[in-house]
Amino acid sequence: MPIDFELTDEQQMFKDTIRDFGENEITPLVEDAENNEKFPVELFPKLGEMGFLGIAFPEEYGGVDLDKITECIFAEEMGRINAGIAMCVNAHTSLSMVPILKFGNDAQKEKYLLPGIEGKIIGALGLTEPDAGSDARSIRATAVKKGDKYIINGTKTWITNGTMCDYVIVAAYTDKSKKGTGISLFVIDADAPGFTEKNKIHKLGHRSADTAELVFVNCEIPEENLLVGEGGFTGAMATLLGARITHAAKSVGLAQAAFEFALNYSKEREAFGRPISKFQAISFKLAQMAVKIETARLLVYKAAWLYSNDKKALKEASMAKLYAADVVQDVCTEAVQVLGGYGYGVEFPVERYYRDAKLASITEGTSEIQHVVIARELGI
């Protein structure tokens, strides 16, 4: 079977559509979103209307039923426009809706999946806690069953879409004696009694992304809000593998934006009577940036192809996530260098790209964790 690196006509048309949508509907909102550290929530229904929130979801739930490659095209284009906005959209689709698609019953899918794909409600995933990040088994949140209800207590932090979500999927121990296997997943509505606080977190980068600490104090939810029971937590988390791939695609998009800006700037900025792009020190920098971006993109789309064809993709997803995180930080650093002093100022977006790039090695599984996963997959 031949290897085809070309996008299909449908994928190319989709890419052109999202780029046009991004430049006309999202770009004008970026400056205000960054300055006010506030995600433009009016985007969600627009994204839903365009079908962008249901790319990889079945048509029966209002999705478009396309593949992971197409979803990565979307993630890359969104990352190219704004990393923070892209992060919120990815958290909604890949982190909050995929578990409902995979594990939810008909009632849960009707309540959350259908309006979620339309952009009428916004979801979040509550896993990380103040003392539990990469080691999810160390979470302290608890869920105690009382009659036909569960009582949730605990604190979640660094939750994307935290202050604006309509629902959040929360991991909590239903049996503390079972390390890891005693964890269950629940869907908690934003207006649930005892969902007491949504504290906004201010960040170095991704300032347009809504990030918060969530506090649950004797939060009451009906038993039908149980999504995944004991013993299913590990499997449920495995379904989020796709989020790692789209996050890598987002990093590629951010790197592409930084590269394009630096390249265009180098052709216009003159020193010693000629454009700085003509100096080997700069041209070689740009050449290396281009090579790294293309390599990262190939890793991402290979992982997406494997995922779309139901093939094992754990190692490749971690490779793509790890390498894309390295590349986006390298490229954004070099972009600042190409611009010199202007790269350090707020007049141009390169300083924002530089700040946004760092998160790539931390969120959706740190680079250190990706090394662990890859090593295990190599049999080490």
Write the Ramachandran bin of 19: left for phi over 0, alpha for psi from -120 to 50, otherwise beta.
alpha
* Nearest CA-CA partner of 142 in 179, 181, 171, 99: 171
Return all residues near 164 (Cβ < 8 A) that are at least 6 apart: 39, 41, 122, 210
Up-side HSE of residue 205: CA atoms within 13 Å toward CB?
A: 23
Domain count, the chain: 3
pLDDT surpasses 60 at 311: yes
Structure tokens at 166: 């309509």
Both 344 and 286 in a single domain?
Answer: yes
Q: Is residue 276 part of a domain?
A: yes
On whether residue 26 sits in a domain, the answer given is: yes
Mean pLDDT of 134-138: 88
Tokens encoding 5: 């690196």
CA distance 287 to 291: 6
Angstrom distances, CA of residue 366 to CA of 99, 135, 171: 21, 11, 19
The answer to whether residue 292 is domain-embedded is yes
Please identify which of the residues 118, 364, 368, 377 carries the catalytic annotation. Answer: 364
2 — pLDDT class (breaks 50, 70, 90): low
Instruction: Give mean pLDDT, residues 190-201.
Output: 93
Same domain, 176 and 207: yes
pLDDT, tens digit, 9 for 90 and up, residues 51-107: 999 999 999 999 999 999 999 999 999 999 999 999 999 999 999 999 999 999 999
Whether residue 224 is found in the same domain as residue 244: no
| pLDDT for 264 beyond 80 | yes
- Can you give the CATH number for the domain in which 368 is found? 1.20.140.10
The CATH code of the domain that includes 76 is 1.10.540.10
Question: Residue 364 above 60 pLDDT?
Answer: yes
Q: Is residue 332 part of a domain?
A: yes
* Domain co-membership, 292 together with 215: no
DSSP E strand stretches across the chain: 123-126, 142-146, 149-160, 167-173, 183-189, 195-200, 211-222, 226-228, 270-271, 274-275
The distance of Cα 93 from the centroid of its chain, to the nearest Å, equals 9
Question: Region 261-271: what's the mean pLDDT?
Answer: 97
Q: Which residues contact 11 (CB under 8 A, 6 or more apart)?
A: 69, 70, 73
pLDDT at 373: 95
Is 59 one of the catalytic residues?
no
Which residues face 216 on adjacent strands? 154, 195
pLDDT score, position 327 = 98
Say what angle helices 68-81 and 83-90 make with each other, to 10 degrees: 150
Q: Of 208, 230, 252, which residue is a domain's last?
A: 230
Question: 202, 230, 258: which is the final residue of a domain?
Answer: 230
CATH, residue 198: 2.40.110.10
Domain shared by 260 and 195, yes or no: no
* CA gap 111, 189 in Å, rounded: 11
For tokens 């090394």, the residue is 371
Shared domain check, 136 and 79: no
Average pLDDT of the segment spanning 265-282: 97
Which residue range(s) make up the domain with 139?
Answer: 124-230
To the nearest 10°, report the CA torsion of 52, 72, 160, 240: 110
Same domain, 358 and 261: yes
Q: Where among 96, 121, 146 does a domain terminate?
A: 121
In a domain, 152, yes or no: yes
Report whether 73 contacts 11 (CB < 8 A): yes
* 2 domain residue, yes or no: no
Residue 331, pLDDT above cutoff 60? yes
